[in-house]
Amino acid sequence: MIIDFIADYYKNVEKYPVRSQVEPGYLQKVLPESAPNNPESMETILQDVQQHIVPGITHCGSIAGFLGEMLSSGFNIVGFNWISSPAATELENIVMDWLGQMIKLPKSFLFSGNGGGVIQGTTCEAILCTLTAARDRVLNKIGRENISKLVVYGSDQTHSGLIPLFLCATIGTTAITAVDPLKPLCDVAKQFGIWVHVDAAYAGSACIFPEFRHFIDGVEGADSFSLNAHKWFFATLDCCCLWATNPEYLKNKATESKPVVDYKDWQITLSRSFRSLKLWFVIRNYGMENLRHFLRSHVNMARLFERLVSGDKRFEVVFPCHFAVVCFRVSPLPVLMDKLKTKYENCLLSEEEQINEFNRELLESINASGKAYMTNVVLGGIYAIRFATGATLTEERHVVVAWTVVLITIKIKLKIFLSLVL
């Protein structure tokens, strides 16, 4: 019954608004205030899911990923150490080496090369684990009594006389998918014994095809590397893949004394699910060639949208499009800015703030249409709209529809806007 429900959901997914259109607190109005005293049928529960839960979710996902997730949930394994379920640990060892080889990580990051990988929940967990490992590596050299001298420098900070221990380079930032120059950063960090972590949460998956591998050139100088397979590799949340060249800093003495991996010592939490199963399903169900094909198609669809934006003088691409995210906005053309001054004359907004507000209103109208769902970024004082391709079922026709929604929405906005001004 559940399988049929999910199959029907994906079959009809295009009938739903992309972004949920419900108002805050909607669910409290339709569900009982207390739990039921007696058991309810699965038919009744699924009916409520269809009527009340489905309208409150955003519709995207990977079919192969959730099949592995279903099997993992069905087994209900708590794989905190090897003996609890050897298959869970050993499959994770194998799958992490597979994926590391696919993106051509140096062998030093793999189990086959004395490194190792672990599937964390999210990038936040991966960074916290590697930051802790970096701290311990430094304290082993200078003594734990000097812990107060440690510091992690940000790019806007200057030398303070303390001991830098950790540098996080990003390949594909969340906001605009920018890429840090990895090799020179690693070269400098090496001089000072700084742990380098590469956060490739979004864009790391793109390195499975050769034309994007250059973005992580220099990774051999890093200490750890992570990517989120649940972002752009069709796995379901949570599936953050973390590799380290020196996994001994992620272990404890009990682990080191055994010929096996106890993943409970490689993460923050003690318990863990059979996460590798869903990643194994994705890799095997698609195969490397199909994975490359899908990711390339996403990049090509983003390039199509970028061309559509660039071909309309009312819009501009704000930041370079490296992968499958296009950041664009309505251009601050003189004819439009003259009219914006009238609309916002009582708001004491600068010209940049006026065009930002107009783009914010445009994005809200696009998302309210239910035909497309885009997000925003504010960087350097510029408000931009983010269009991303990356879902399993996304096709070129959806990109064209999304751009059509943008055009229709701005036409309506400008018509209303001009009527208010005049």
- Tokens linked to 361: 């209103």
On average, the pLDDT of the chain sits at 88
Helices (H) then strands (E): counts for the chain: 14, 11
Length of the chain as a residue count = 422
Choose among 105, 119, 88: nearest CA to 250.
119
pLDDT (tens digit, 9 = 90+) per residue, 156-174? Answer: 444 457 888 999 999 998 8
**Fold that domain 77-274 belongs to in CATH:** Aspartate Aminotransferase; domain 2 (3.40.640)
pLDDT (tens digit, 9 = 90+) per residue, 329-388? Answer: 998 877 677 667 666 666 677 888 889 999 999 999 999 999 999 999 999 999 999 999
pLDDT at position 238 is 86
3-class secondary structure, 115: coil
pLDDT at position 318 is 95
What is the number of other CB atoms lying within 10 angstroms of the CB of residue 356?
21
Pairing status of strand 224-228 against strand 240-244:
antiparallel
pLDDT (tens digit, 9 = 90+) per residue, 193-250? Answer: 999 999 999 999 999 989 999 999 999 999 999 999 999 998 888 899 999 998 877 7
For helices 396-421 and 351-368, angle between their N-to-C axes, nearest 10 degrees = 130
Given a cut of 50, whether residue 103 has pLDDT beyond it is yes
d(CA 301, CA 295): 10
Q: Are 247 and 266 in contact (CB under 8 A)?
A: yes
Q: Where are the domains of the chain?
A: 2-60, 77-274, 285-419
pLDDT (tens digit, 9 = 90+) per residue, 37-46? Answer: 999 999 999 9
Q: Are 169 and 182 in contact (CB under 8 A)?
A: yes
User: Amino acid letter at 189?
Assistant: A
What pTM does this model have?
Answer: 0.87
d(CA 306, CA 310): 6
d(CA 298, CA 62): 14
- Residue 4 φ then ψ, to 5°: -60, -40
Choose among 244, 304, 303, 12: nearest CA to 106.
244
Fold match flag (2-60 vs 285-419): no
* Cβ contacts of 311 within 8 Å, gap of 6 or more: none
- Residue range 285-419, CATH number: 3.90.1150.10
Question: What stretches of 249-379 show up as alpha helix (H) in DSSP?
Answer: 253-256, 276-310, 334-343, 351-368
Given a cut of 50, whether residue 422 has pLDDT beyond it is no
CATH 1.20.1420.30 fits 2-60, yes or no: no
